[in-house]
Each structure stands twice: as structure tokens, then as C-alpha cells.
């Protein structure tokens, strides 16, 4: 029985691990903080599932198993909630990290102080699940201009995962119940990860379409001296071909060397009225 059950358990855990790596790769490519927070949380959850698998094989001492598992659940839930705040461009509350740190200190005291474990176990379970349930509710409460049906699905699976995250089934004698709960949790997490990946790509596509539409409207209604400058990337998005009549530099030259425009506006001989267009100084683009 152990050999038959162990293979699908370990294979499912590896699936979660690979999906977490995909999240981390996407976070590196996109530079989005919420993708990094979510990717690290999935990585921690993968370690938590692996801990369940190891405990299923060799049976840790219950006190240490509960401590390690609840620490992993606490860290993963906190990071996922932080990622959700960043996803909706909200500022996390100050008390979140303090409460999480206090909860972690209590969990670390479980093996040495059984009284603390008996008193703090249930509140920590509620706090851990509450962070995930709160994140799930945010997917319904907050929105942007694009309404995705996957958001409701993500909210549902986040709340379900918040219910199953703190099970300690492998501390019981009935391993059948523990294995069933284990697979339900793994299935929920994997579906949730895939749903969030779909939401990310749909949001990315929506932002690209909106940006291109805005750019097209600006260009279609532009004047002869129209130009768009990206302060973040420090380069021109669009330069009117007739800009050369105003500053004596062609549009192709500005695309290659944006600093030439600022060299122009800083000279006293030319038209100084266009200097006021820029609200803050721009540094020289990096090579």
C-alpha cells in the first residue's frame, strides 16, 4: 500500500514544485512583485507537501511535524496574501507582518512547551486560514476594468485551500483519511496555480491591448510636433517625422539617441517653451 500510494503523492508534489518554478520564471521576466510573492508561496507549499510525504513514510514526532508544517503554512499564506495585495496595487496593512512574526514565535515553541501548543494551535490555524480566505475575498471585492470569470474560480479555490491547508491528517492513525485530504489539497493548489497563470496572461494581454489602443489614438490625433517619451525606459515611444522642422534632429536619430533631444532643450539659443513640457529631469539613458 505504501509503495502504491507514495508514487502519486510524490509525483503530485513535483507538479506543484514545477508550477512554482514557472511562477518564479515569470516573475523574473515581468518584474512583477506579486508573481514573486506567489511563486515563493507555491515553493513553500511544495516543501510542505514534501514534509507530509516524508512523515507518511518515516513518522516524525508529532510535535516537530506539527511545528514544521504550521510554519510552512504560515509563511506560504502570508506571502500569498502579500502577493494578492501587490496584484491589486494595494498597500499591505502594517499589522500583517507583526502578527505573522508573533505567530511564528509561538509555533517555534511547540516542541518545548506543550502548553503553548495546546493553547496557540487553534488560533494559529484560524489565522493561517484567515489570511488565505481574506486573499480569496479580495479577488471578488477588488477589480480592474477587465472582468474575468477566472477571478471567481480563483477566489473559490483559494478559500477551499484555506480550509484544507492546516490539516494534520498524518498525525492520525487512519492514513486513508490523511491520504485523501493530501490529494484534495494538492489538486486544489495545482488548479489554483494554473488559474492564476491564466489570469496573469489575460491581464497582461488586456494591458497590452489598452496600451496599443491609447498609443494609436494619440498618434492618429497628434500634431506635426507630436512625441511620446517613456520616463521609465528613458526612450521615445513615438516621434513625429516632422519634428526635425522644430529641433533640427530627425525622428530616426531621436529613436537611437534620445539624449540629443535634451541636449537641444537645454541650449539657450533654441525655443525654451518646450522645456516646460517635462516635469522632472531625465538622466542619460544607460547603454
pTM above 0.85, yes or no: no
pLDDT digit string, tens, across residues 192-210? 988 888 888 887 777 766 6
Residues 117-127 have pLDDT tens digits of 889 988 998 99
3-state secondary structure the chain: CHHHHHHHHHHHHHHHHHHHHHHHHHHHHHCCHHHHHHHHHHHHHHHHHHHHHHHHHHCCCHHHHHHHHHHHHHHHHHHHHHHHHHHCCCCCCCHHHHHHHHHHHHHHCCCCCHHHHHHHHHHHHHHHHHHHHHHHHHHHHCCCCCCCHHHHHHHHHHHHHHHHCCCCHHHCCCHHHHHHHHHHHHHHHHHHHHHHHHHHHHHHHHHHHHHHHHHHHHHHCCCCCCEEEECCCCEEEEECHHHHHHHCCCHHHHHHCCHHHHHHHCCCCCCHHHHHHCCCCCCCCCC
| Residue-level pLDDT at 212 | 63
Amino acid at each position: 500500500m505504501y509503495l502504491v500510494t507514495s508514487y502519486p503523492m510524490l509525483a503530485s508534489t513535483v507538479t506543484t514544485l514545477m508550477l512554482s518554478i514557472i511562477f518564479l520564471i515569470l516573475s523574473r521576466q515581468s518584474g512583477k512583485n506579486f508573481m514573486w510573492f506567489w511563486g515563493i508561496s507555491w515553493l513553500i507549499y511544495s516543501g510542505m507537501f514534501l514534509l507530509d510525504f516524508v512523515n507518511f513514510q518515516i513518522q516524525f514526532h508529532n510535535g516537530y511535524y506539527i511545528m514544521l508544517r504550521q510554519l510552512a503554512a504560515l509563511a506560504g499564506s502570508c506571502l500569498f496574501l502579500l502577493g494578492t495585495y501587490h496584484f491589486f496595487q494595494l498597500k499591505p496593512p502594517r499589522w500583517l507582518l507583526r502578527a505573522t512574526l508573533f505567530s511564528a514565535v509561538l509555533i517555534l515553541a511547540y516542541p518545548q512547551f506543550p502548553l503553548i501548543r495546546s493553547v496557540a494551535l487553534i488560533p494559529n490555524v484560524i489565522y493561517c486560514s484567515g489570511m488565505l480566505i481574506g486573499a480569496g475575498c479580495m479577488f471578488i471585492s477588488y477589480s480592474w476594468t477587465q472582468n474575468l470569470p477566472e477571478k471567481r474560480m480563483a477566489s473559490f479555490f483559494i478559500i477551499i485551500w484555506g480550509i484544507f491547508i492546516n490539516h494534520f491528517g498524518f498525525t492520525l492513525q487512519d492514513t486513508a483519511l490523511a491520504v485523501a485530504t493530501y490529494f484534495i489539497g494538492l489538486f486544489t493548489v495545482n488548479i489554483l496555480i494554473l488559474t492564476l497563470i491564466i489570469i496573469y496572461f489575460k491581464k497582461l494581454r488586456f494591458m497590452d491591448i489598452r496600451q496599443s489602443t491609447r498609443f494609436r489614438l494619440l498618434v492618429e490625433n497628434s500634431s506635426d510636433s507630436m512625441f511620446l517619451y517613456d520616463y521609465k525606459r528613458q526612450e521615445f515611444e513615438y516621434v513625429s517625422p516632422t519634428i526635425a522642422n522644430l529641433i533640427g534632429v530627425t525622428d530616426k536619430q531621436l529613436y537611437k539617441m534620445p539624449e540629443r533631444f535634451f541636449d537641444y532643450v537645454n541650449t539657450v539659443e533654441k525655443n525654451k517653451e518646450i522645456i516646460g513640457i517635462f516635469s522632472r529631469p531625465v538622466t542619460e539613458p544607460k547603454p
